[in-house]
């Protein structure tokens, strides 16, 4: 209900707005034209209040015009031929109209058309004064009494004009000077507008009816003058009413302007969807509607103007509410739709195909533009060639721009890949939304994220492990200290039975083994987590192996094994932490001593390969080795019984220390042949 009222209010407001504005504008135009032609307009208004039509300016100008036409017509006759008949074809064009003026054949124009004979005329030369006339009774109008009903006579005597009305002579010339805007008789004979010398022999008499009657079949200018005044007055009154009405409507329009604005907005919302091209056509149509029919006269002009007003209104509303609406045009929409469709399609296509298709499209665009452009250029004699070239350059520019963007993105992507590969902590790569490589960059970011998270987790867990092992080993060391100390005290006790001494010896051995194990666990966890302090220095690997063997000479000699050592005399220089590397070989030799089959040989060889020094230690295992088990894993031992001495960390320590020093450690099992290999790059 409310909305309905609102809507009707809005429509009323809009319609009244149109009407009032239209009327006011029309009035304003009239007013302006009135002011522009002020003098004539004033004459026109004077005429409205004249009782006697013969006193009006319109009458005066009508008679003046008629006289002039007659004079010119007769002059034209006389100048072409002396006879009564003339050949129309021979006549000079400027006089054509005036000849028709007196022609009896012509019904549409001229005095003969006045069937009511409101204006009688006689014209001729001084010798034949009534050569032409429309008075059927052939009286002499120049002199004497006027016919019944007629009271006005105008006589041209070749030089001046004299007028007689109701028997009284009227002063035609006044002070003898003609002023065009004073409502004067526009006839020859003024001092500043002397009669044409060619008219000297011509005589004209015009007689007007006191009260013009309506012509039966035709047109009478004088009758028209009598009627015109009343019509004009009526028109002006009606117009005045309309203006007042329009002001009232304007008030309504003003009162309900809110609703109207709402409606305008709604109209604007509608027009916003229109393409700019259609709007343009609409504007042109409106302008044509306004101006195209100007020739049809003032009233129709006003109507067309009023009709075109809503058009202007819509245009104004559109301009006001839809800023930049020119962008919403057909070409742009097509391009945009195409681009959107493209990008959607491209998102789905693999990169390679996408790039190839883009190249294809570019070539197609160039080819089509070139073809059409060439055709049009030929048609327009080269006028459109610059546009074609510009278009082609534009396409090339667009393609180049895309390509450059791609190259830049690719560069950034590869840089990022290198950074990720080197493990640097890099910021995630952000490419623009429409970049071809966005997805790849996204994946790379994910990978990097995953790697860094994994590395972080690993470092964290390793650190926690080391911390745990450190704490545990410290906690174990304290009670172990007591055990060792008291075992030592026990050993010093005298007078103990032999079997007790045996027990004590076992306690002593096992507590020491526990001590070594704890240290080994600590070392291996530290090395594996990469938290070990290293003192890297250049050293001779051969010498180190020889020193290790010499250091363990006693154990080697006392074993049932034969060591076959093949180490070159010349130094084999590598860079490593000597103390750690000693532990590596110590563990390997201990391992060989511990697990080798009695009476077999242990081969220790140092070989120099290309850029690397390699120590191999081969021995025959006493136990059958399981080749599926990685023996270098922590706590893994060749014998699963774990009955023998050792922490089970020997090879694990060897491996982690070697790797911490920058070498490679590997173990190979071939049946019972156990081969440990330590390799370092030469320096």
Partner 1 sequence: MNEGSILVVDDDHEIVRSIAIHLEREGYSVLCAYNGLEALDTVMSQQVGLIIIDVMMPKMDGLSAIMKIREKRNLPIIVLSAKSEDTDKILGLSMGADDYVTKPFNPMELVARVRSQLRRYTSLGDIHAQQGNHMIVNGRLSYNTEEHSLAADGEPVKLTATETKIIDLLMRNIGRIFPAEEIYRRVWNEPAFSAENTVMVHIRRIREKIELNPKEPEYLKVVWGIGYKIEKK
Positions touching partner 1 (CB under 8 A) are 473-474, 477-478, 480-486, 488-489, 492, 511, 515, 519, 522, 533, 539-541, 543-544, 546-551, 553, 576, 578-579, 581-582
Q: Are the C-beta atoms of residues 202 and 68 closer than 8 Å to each other?
A: no
Specify the residue, 475 or 626, whose C-beta has the smaller distance to partner 1.
Answer: 475
Shortest distance in whole angstroms from residue 631 CB to partner 1: 25
CB burial string 600-631: b at 16+ within 10 A, e below = bebbbebeeeeeebbbbbbbbbbeebeeeeeb
CB of 469 to partner 1, least distance (A): 13
Which is nearer to partner 1, 74 or 544 (by Cβ)? 544
Rounded to a whole number of angstroms, the minimum distance from the CB of residue 562 to partner 1 is: 15
**Which string of DSSP letters, residue by residue, matches 478-543?**
HHHHHHHHHHHHHHH-SS--HHHHHHHHHHHHHHHHHHHHHHHHHHHHHHHHT------EEEEHHH
Provide, rounded to whole angstroms, the least separation between the CB of residue 671 and partner 1.
Answer: 32
Nearer to partner 1, 578 or 650 (CB): 578
Token pair, residue 481, equals: 């200290």
- Whether the CB-CB separation of 678 and 584 falls below 8 Å is answered with yes
CB of 536: closest distance to partner 1 in angstroms?
12
Residue partners of 436: CB distance under 8 A and separation at least 6: 346, 351, 354, 355, 406, 409
Q: In angstroms, give the least distance from the CB of 576 to partner 1.
A: 8
- In DSSP notation, 223-263 reads HHHHHHHHHHHHHHHHHHHHHHHHHHHHHHHHHTHHHHHHH
Closest by CA to 391, choosing from 381, 380, 402, 399, is 399
Q: How does DSSP classify residue 426?
A: P
Closer to partner 1 at the Cβ: 290 or 548? 548
Residue 550: HSE in the Cβ half-sphere, 13 Å Cα cutoff: 6
Structural contact between residues 144 and 153, judged by C-beta atoms closer than 8 angstroms: no
CB of 531 to partner 1, least distance (A): 10
Q: Which is nearer to partner 1, 146 or 561 (CB)?
A: 561
Distances, alpha carbon 415 to alpha carbons 80, 404, 408, 429, 449, in Å: 103, 16, 11, 10, 16
Which residue number, 65 or 501, has a Cβ lying nearer to partner 1? Answer: 501
Nearer Cβ to partner 1 (268/660): 660
To partner 1, the closest distance from the beta carbon of 658 in angstroms equals 14
Report the residue number, 67 or 544, with the smaller CB distance to partner 1.
544
DSSP code per residue over 287-339: HHHHHTTGGG-HHHHHHHHHHHHHHHHHHHHHHHHSTTGGGS-HHHHHHHHHH
Q: Which is nearer to partner 1, 22 or 542 (CB)?
A: 542
CB of 460 to partner 1, least distance (A): 21
DSSP string computed for 578-625: HHHHHHHHHHHHHHHHHHBPTT-EEEEEEEEETTEEEEEEEEEBSSPP
Q: Could you identify the residue written with the tokens 């721009």?
A: 401
CA 661 – CA 248 distance, rounded (Å): 103
User: Could you tell me the smallest distance in angstroms from the CB atom of residue 547 to partner 1?
Assistant: 6
Q: In Å, what is the CA distance from 45 to each residue of 57, 183, 278?
A: 10, 12, 47
Q: Which is nearer to partner 1, 365 or 552 (CB)?
A: 552
Nearer to partner 1, 439 or 488 (CB): 488
What is the closest distance, in whole angstroms, from the C-beta atom of residue 401 to partner 1 in the complex? 60
Please say which residue, 67 or 576, places its beta carbon nearer to partner 1.
576
Give CA–CA dist 581/663, Å, rounded.
10
> Residue 474 Cβ, how far from partner 1 at the closest point, in Å?
4
Helix (H, G, I), strand (E, B) or coil at 357: helix
């Amino acid at each position: 209900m409310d909305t309905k009222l609102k809507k009707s209010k809005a429509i009323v407001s809009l319609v009244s707005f149109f009407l009032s504005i239209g009327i006011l504008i029309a009035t304003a135009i009239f007013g302006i034209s009135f002011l522009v032609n002020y003098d004539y307009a004033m004459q026109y208004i004077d005429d409205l209040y004249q009782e006697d039509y013969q006193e009006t300016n319109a009458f005066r100008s009508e008679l003046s015009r008629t006289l002039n036409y007659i004079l010119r017509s007769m002059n034209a006759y006389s100048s072409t031929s002396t006879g009564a008949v003339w050949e129309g074809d021979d006549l000079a064009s400027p006089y054509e109209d005036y000849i028709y003026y007196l022609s009896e054949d012509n019904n549409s124009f001229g005095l003969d058309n006045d069937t009511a004979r409101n204006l009688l005329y006689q014209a001729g030369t001084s010798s034949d004064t009534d050569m032409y006339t429309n008075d059927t009774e052939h009286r002499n109008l120049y002199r004497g009494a006027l016919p019944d009903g007629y009271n006005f006579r105008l006589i041209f005597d070749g030089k001046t004009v004299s007028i007689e009305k109701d028997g009284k002579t009227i002063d035609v010339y006044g002070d003898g000077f003609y002023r065009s805007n004073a409502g004067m008789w526009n006839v020859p004979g003024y001092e500043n507008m002397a009669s044409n010398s060619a008219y000297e022999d011509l005589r004209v008499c015009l007689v007007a009816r006191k009260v013009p009657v309506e012509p039966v079949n035709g047109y009478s200018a004088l009758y028209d003058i009598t009627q015109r005044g009343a019509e004009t007055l009526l028109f002006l009154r009606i117009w005045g009413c309309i203006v007042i009405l329009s002001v009232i409507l304007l008030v309504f329009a003003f009162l309900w302007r809110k609703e109207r604005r709402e409606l305008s907005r709604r109209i604007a919302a509608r027009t916003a969807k229109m393409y700019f091209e259609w709007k343009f056509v609409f504007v042109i149509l409106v302008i044509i509607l306004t101006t195209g029919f100007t020739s049809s006269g003032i009233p129709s002009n006003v109507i067309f103007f009023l009709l075109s007003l809503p058009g202007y209104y819509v245009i104004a509303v559109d301009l006001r509410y839809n800023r930049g609406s020119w962008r919403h045009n057909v070409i742009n929409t097509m391009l945009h739709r195409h681009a959107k469709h493209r990008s959607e399609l491209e998102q789905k296509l693999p990169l390679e195909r996408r790039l190839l298709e883009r190249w294809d499209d570019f070539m197609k665009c160039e080819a089509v533009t070139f073809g059409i452009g060439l055709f049009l250029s030929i048609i327009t004699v080269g006028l459109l060639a610059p546009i074609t070239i510009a278009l082609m350059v534009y396409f090339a520019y667009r393609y180049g721009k895309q390509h450059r963007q791609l190259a830049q993105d690719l560069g950034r992507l590869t840089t990022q890949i290198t950074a990720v590969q080197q493990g640097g902590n890099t910021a995630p790569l952000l490419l623009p939304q429409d970049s071809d490589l966005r997805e790849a960059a996204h994946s790379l970011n994910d990978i990097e994220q995953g790697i860094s998270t994994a590395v972080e987790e690993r470092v964290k867990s390793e650190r926690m492990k080391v911390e745990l092992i450190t704490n545990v080993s410290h906690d174990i060391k304290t009670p172990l200290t007591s055990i060792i100390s008291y075992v030592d005290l026990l050993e010093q006790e005298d007078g103990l039975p032999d079997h007790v001494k045996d027990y004590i010896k076992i306690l002593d051995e096992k507590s020491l083994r526990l001590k070594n194990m704890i240290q080994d666990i600590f070392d291996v966890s530290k090395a594996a987590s990469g938290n070990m302090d290293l003192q890297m220095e250049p050293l001779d690997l051969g010498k180190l192996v020889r020193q290790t063997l010499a250091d363990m000479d006693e154990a080697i000699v006392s074993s049932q094994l034969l060591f076959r050592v093949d180490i070159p005399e010349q130094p084999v220089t590598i860079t490593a932490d000597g103390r750690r590397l000693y532990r590596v070989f110590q563990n390997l030799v201990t391992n060989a001593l511990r697990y080798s089959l009695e009476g077999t040989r242990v081969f220790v060889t140092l070989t120099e390969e290309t850029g690397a020094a390699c120590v191999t230690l081969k021995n025959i295992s006493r136990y059958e080795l399981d080749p599926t088990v990685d023996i270098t894993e922590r706590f893994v031992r060749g014998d699963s019984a774990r009955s023998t001495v050792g922490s089970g960390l020997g090879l694990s320590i060897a491996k982690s220390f070697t790797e911490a020093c920058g070498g490679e450690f590997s173990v190979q099992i071939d049946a019972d042949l156990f081969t440990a290999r330590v390799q370092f790059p030469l320096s």
